[in-house]
Structure 1
């Protein structure tokens, strides 16, 4: 396994002979305004330049989109990712949005999604505390993580855009990952 964080939640993971791009935010540094209501809403995003060329970033077997907020799936990714690229989405709703953006090869992750001989398991996540999520459910939306399993690799849990809560604890107990990757 190889792991490379590009920026924010955008990562590349090489796992069991396959290469995945997760949560591509591919815009130029500072291309869009800060996120309203956050402590750094005055700071334009993305915060840093991409560390490697786009052709290397897009040289992958599949893309995983944990949710469709613009810091995980931005307009640049929508424009630059090949429309026939295999994309794994967290649910039917996100899949429909991505399909509406012109993509043709979308699979919805579930409890046990198999890609070649790699098992991808969608996990739960939560954008904030219980009261925050209740109050801003429409704005925050659903979020997921993903567990990678393969007999010849360590089990990897990418927690996704989540706070610590009982769901993350349950995922850790249930999947017993060797490696945990956090967006922090």
Structure 2
């Protein structure tokens, strides 16, 4: 069973990009950061893999999943045992708390690591404007376009995109995201992206690596290491799938520690945990595993903001 069948997506092949790669180059900065100093990197975690990343008048939205309540997201359950040939049952995934309020009008562009329903859900599809600039994998482009979105750029591993800000720029580089360490399962789940960001304005410079759903494989580590030092590592955790037929398809604490040991970031901001009943490993396990590490562990509540000076 391939990924598009597995996740209820179109079974057609992604089309070549119809939008020039630097689609974001013409995006105007909103001039509305989410609070505090606009000249510093700020992140608001909205739950799951959804963040608002704001810098110098530009705000980026990641992996939008806006559903709330007991039936927040309808998707196959990777935490159950099932026959791979038939696939899992579709069931609702509950969001345990409310979605924090935010203003979509301040968003300059949306970045999608991969288009599974817990990373781009039906509620977000309905609320985000069809002409919003989106960045995704080539694999997911056609399925996203079929939902009515008209301004989609694709980035493959190693490709860059530059986004001007009020007084500087954001450089975005795609890196591979390996959704499983099992080659057969990875083929079912399909390719994804992580993204490496460089935020520059005046004398200010910060780097951030948002992993997407991946494991610290050699391919991933090598692709990230060549991009330079990491100020902020944003890993997807939660141990999804560890009880199911696919096996573990998102990192647990031990995997994050391996990644930290190899990449040596200054700070670690874990997301993709606690929000939905999809996530199996509690975040306290990562806090415990990181207790003796030099990197700062920034565990923040959903809706909270953090600023990196």
State the TM-score, normalizing by the size of structure 1.
0.85
Write the mapping of 1:32-47 to structure 2, written as runs, cut at 5 A: 32-33=73-74, 35-38=76-79, 44-47=92-95
CA drift of 1:30 comes to 2.5
Residues 10 and 72 in structure 1, CA contact (< 8 A), matched pair in contact too: yes
Between the aligned partners of 1:50 and 1:23, the Cα distance in structure 2 is 17
CA drift of 1:151 comes to 2.7
For structure 2, which runs of at least 5 residues remain unmatched after alignment? 1-40, 82-87, 238-309
Instruction: Tell me whether 1:156 sits opposite 2:208 in the alignment.
Output: yes
Q: Higher Cα Rg: structure 1 or 2?
A: 2
Q: CA RMSD in A?
A: 2.4
Instruction: Tell me whether 1:140 sits opposite 2:189 in the alignment.
Output: yes
Between the aligned partners of 2:171 and 2:94, the Cα distance in structure 1 is 31
Instruction: Flag as ranges the 4+ runs of structure 1 deviating above 3 A.
Output: 32-35, 39-44
User: Structure 1 residues 90, 16: CA separation in 2 closer, same or farther (over 3 Å shift)?
Assistant: farther
Count of residue pairs the alignment pairs up:
179
User: Structure 1 residues 60, 138: CA separation in 2 closer, same or farther (over 3 Å shift)?
Assistant: same
Instruction: Tell me whether 1:49 sits opposite 2:97 in the alignment.
Output: yes
For structure 1, which runs of at least 5 residues remain unmatched after alignment? none
Higher RCO, Cα 8 Å, sep 6+: 2
CA drift of 1:155 comes to 0.9
CA drift of 1:113 comes to 1.1
Give SS of 1:2's match.
strand
User: Structure 1 residues 90, 166: CA separation in 2 closer, same or farther (over 3 Å shift)?
Assistant: same
Among 60, 72, 78, the residue aligned to 2:107: 60
Provide the residue aligned with 2:236 in structure 1.
Answer: 183
Between the aligned partners of 2:94 and 2:155, the Cα distance in structure 1 is 27
User: Structure 1 residues 182, 69: CA separation in 2 closer, same or farther (over 3 Å shift)?
Assistant: same
Residues 159 and 168 in structure 1, CA contact (< 8 A), matched pair in contact too: no
Residues 68 and 95 in structure 2, CA contact (< 8 A), matched pair in contact too: no
CA drift of 1:99 comes to 1.2
